[in-house]
Amino acid sequence: MIIYPAIDLRGGRVVRLTEGRFDQEKSYGDDPLAVAKDFATAGATWLHVVDLDGAKDPTKRQTALVEEIIQGSGLRVQTGGGIRDESQIAALLAAGATRVIVGSLAAKQPELVRGWLRQFGPEKIILSPDVRLDGGGTPRVAAAGWQESTGMALDDFLHSYLAAGLVHILCTDISRDGKLTGPNTALYAQLVKKFSPLQIQASGGVSSLDDLRALKATGSAGAIVGRALYEKKFTLKEALAC
C-alpha cells in the first residue's frame, strides 16, 4: 500500500479543511515546497496535491506552484482540484504531474470524462468519487465541493467507468474527512472485493498507525494522509515503516 502525504493549497499556503468546508480551514505553513521536500526526505515516493483555489475558481488555478512542487521535490505527484476541461489536464501533465484527479465532473459529465480516460490513458487519470452514506448505508456520490448529492450509488458510478478502462480511484468518506476519527475500512474492504480490477485509494479520517494497518488489510492500494501528519499523530517515517 502506498502512503500519499497530502498537501492542500490555498493562496499558496498549506491548509486542511474539515469536510471540504472553506470556513473550516487550518493553516500549516506558507512554504508548500519545503513541506514536500520534508516528505521526500522522510522516504515518500508520492505526493497528493489539491489546488483548493482552482477548485473554487478556475481562473485562480495554482498550476505554476504545483509545477514548482513537482520539480523541486522530485516526488511523483497526483493532483487536481476543480478540473473542468482537458486543457487543465494537459497543463498539469505538462507541469510534470503523474496523475490528474477528476472529481465532480466524473459524476456530472461521465461521457466527457470517459473520453478523457481514453485520450490521456488510464494511468494518467484518477477519479475521486467522494461519498456520503445514505440512511440505508449505501455510499452515494457527492459533487460541487461536497455540497451536493448526485443521488448516484457509488457501485453504479464505478461500473459505468470500467468499460472505459478506469484503473485508479480515490474514494473519500466525506463524514470522516479532516476529523481524525478513523477511516471507513468497511467501505474500502467492500470496494476492493467488488472491484478487484481497480487500484483503490482510501481517504478521510486516518489518525493512527493502526488505521493504516487496517487499511492495508483491506487490500487498498493507497492511503491519503494529511492532518494526522500535520498534527504529529505519527511521523511519515513511521507510516511508511508500518
Give the Cα separation of 48 and 102 in Å (integer): 13
What separation in angstroms does the CA of 141 have from each of 131, 138, 165, 173, 176? 5, 10, 20, 10, 15
110 burial level (CB within 10 Å; 0-12, 13-18, 19+): middle
Asked if 158 and 114 count as a contact pair (C-beta separation under 8 A), the reply is: no
Asked if 1 and 223 count as a contact pair (C-beta separation under 8 A), the reply is: yes
Asked if 72 and 32 count as a contact pair (C-beta separation under 8 A), the reply is: no
Q: Is 38 a catalytic residue?
A: no
Q: Is 51 a catalytic residue?
A: no
Q: Please count the residues of the chain.
A: 242
Q: Which of 53, 130, 173, 177 is catalytic?
A: 130
- CA angle (17 as vertex; 39, 228 as ends), nearest 5: 40
Q: Which of 8, 51, 53, 211 is catalytic?
A: 8
CA 44 to chain centre: 16
Match 510534470 to its residue by C-alpha cell.
Answer: 96
Which three-class secondary structure state does DSSP give residue 167?
coil
* Catalytic (active-site) positions: 8, 130
